[in-house]
Amino acid sequence: MKKIFEKVIEGILMLSGTVTTLTVLLIIFFLFKEGIGLFGKSPTEEGFTVAVNRENPVNELSTDQIKNIFDQNIHNWNEVGGNNDSIILFRMDDLFNYYTEEELAGIDTNMNLLTSKIDEVIDKNKGIIAFISSKEIPQNPNSKLIHIKAIGLGSFFGGKEWFPTAQPVAQFGVYPLLMGTLWVSLLAILIALPFGLATAVYMAEIASPGVRSVLKPVIELLAGIPSVVYGFFGLIVVVPLVQQIFALPVGETGLTGSIILAIMALPTIITVAEDAIRGTPRSVKEASLALGASQWQTIYRITIPYASSGITAAVILGIGRAIGETMAVLMVTGNAAVVPHSILEPMRTIPATIAAELGEAAKGSLHYDALFALGCILFIITMIVNLTVQMISGKRTRNKLR
């Protein structure tokens, strides 16, 4: 009977582990399946196209070129390999600039009239570039469609503008978001790790039982505070402080976000590292002291190396908290999707972008796929950081054992 009971328990545990593993794998598969769907697609909004005069020699444009054309940063076709003709922008609303109301009478009910008028405008203006609906292209047009380069890895990772709802072409440059994430997260860890590990060592090895009994519950309580509360604290206290100290026009900067993230990561790092340090056998520490080592030498050469695996777990959890945080960062970093040149500038992180935009993105749209692609990047960054920390920790442990 006892053996049957043990087999049942063993089967339940195996089933639980299998289900958990499959769930994680399915989540990863779904994430990458949706994210990869972005690449190879045209960046224009579905159902719309860009057309030019058929005598225009330009057949293909990049998303940056079209954006600069419609932003009027490019004024002549010779700047993009065409003839020496001034560029004329055309959208549907501009049709009334070419025809009178009488000539356009009945256009709302007669689609053929609409398409013919648009085609006439494009045919009469050699320098025109029109952003129109695909339904407004006649069967035998006098215009030609411009081929827009599809979204690729180069434009996605190298693009410096993130504007998924831009018209006529969306901008999916993840570079500013990636840099913002790395700047904010890395500085947060550089701030949190020394303070966190120092506090963990103090609580585990130096503090009296009375001090520890007060500090530990307070620190653990900090871990339960919602991130939005940290965000409000940052807005009210840290933002004005940073603005005043560095004489900035605004206090919502990457530095502000790093400080808030460091405060949020501290409870996790302290609690996990302190438990690992306290797990060092008393006999090992007493043997070190008996051989003449001081308390600090014992902490540095015996306790910390022995607890390195637990400290590594604390570091990984702290980094994960910093990289994946959304609401607090969204509130205090300025939420500006621009390439940062200083930690004292407003910036936006990948998690904050996903949190702010996913609710507005239509399922199956380019914007929706792009946000899942950001999730893939976040997953890869976290995995790389975890593997790096584990490799460094494992190498140091092997060196200590030698």
- pLDDT tens per residue, range 210-247: 888 888 888 888 888 888 899 999 999 999 999 999 99
pLDDT band with cut points at 50, 70 and 90 for residue 139: low
The ranges assigned to domains in the chain are 48-169, 175-401
Beta-carbon contacts of 119 under 8 Å, excluding residues fewer than 6 positions away, are 137, 138, 141, 142, 143
Rounded distance between C-alpha atoms, residue 199 and residue 266, angstroms: 9
Write the DSSP symbol of residue 161.
Answer: -
Percent of the chain with pLDDT over 70: 95
pLDDT band with cut points at 50, 70 and 90 for residue 396: low
Query: What are the residue ranges of helices labelled H in 209-253?
Result: 209-223, 227-233, 239-245
Residue 10 has pLDDT above 80, yes or no: yes
Rounded distance between C-alpha atoms, residue 142 and residue 138, angstroms: 9
Closest CA relative to residue 323, chosen from 206, 183, 215: 183
Per CATH, the homologous superfamily of domain 175-401 is: MetI-like (1.10.3720.10)
First to last CA, the chain: 48
Contact 32, 383 (CB under 8 A): no
* Torsion sign (Cα): 258, 263, 266, 267: negative
Q: What integer is the mean pLDDT of 56-82?
A: 89
**Mean residue pLDDT across the chain:** 86
Lowest-confidence pick of 129-143, 144-158, 368-382: 129-143
Contact 130, 138 (CB under 8 A): no
pLDDT of amino acid 165: 83
pLDDT of amino acid 253: 93
pLDDT of amino acid 8: 83
pLDDT of amino acid 395: 58
DSSP line for 292-346: T--HHHHIIIIIHHHTHHHHHHHHHHHHHHHHH--HHHHHHSB---S--SSTTS-
Phi, psi for residue 109 in degrees, rounded to 5? -105, -15
171: left (phi over 0), alpha (psi -120 to 50) or beta: beta
Contact 336, 183 (CB under 8 A): no
Q: What integer is the mean pLDDT of 247-251?
A: 90
Residue 355 has pLDDT above 80, yes or no: yes
Residue 400 has pLDDT above 60, yes or no: no
Contact 37, 365 (CB under 8 A): no
How confident is the model over 303-331, as pLDDT tens digits?
888 888 788 888 888 877 778 888 888 88
The CATH class, in words, for 48-169 is: alpha beta
pLDDT band with cut points at 50, 70 and 90 for residue 401: very low
Q: Is the pTM of this model over 0.95?
A: no
Q: How far does Cα 26 stand from its chain's mean position?
A: 21
pLDDT of amino acid 106: 67
Contact 167, 131 (CB under 8 A): yes
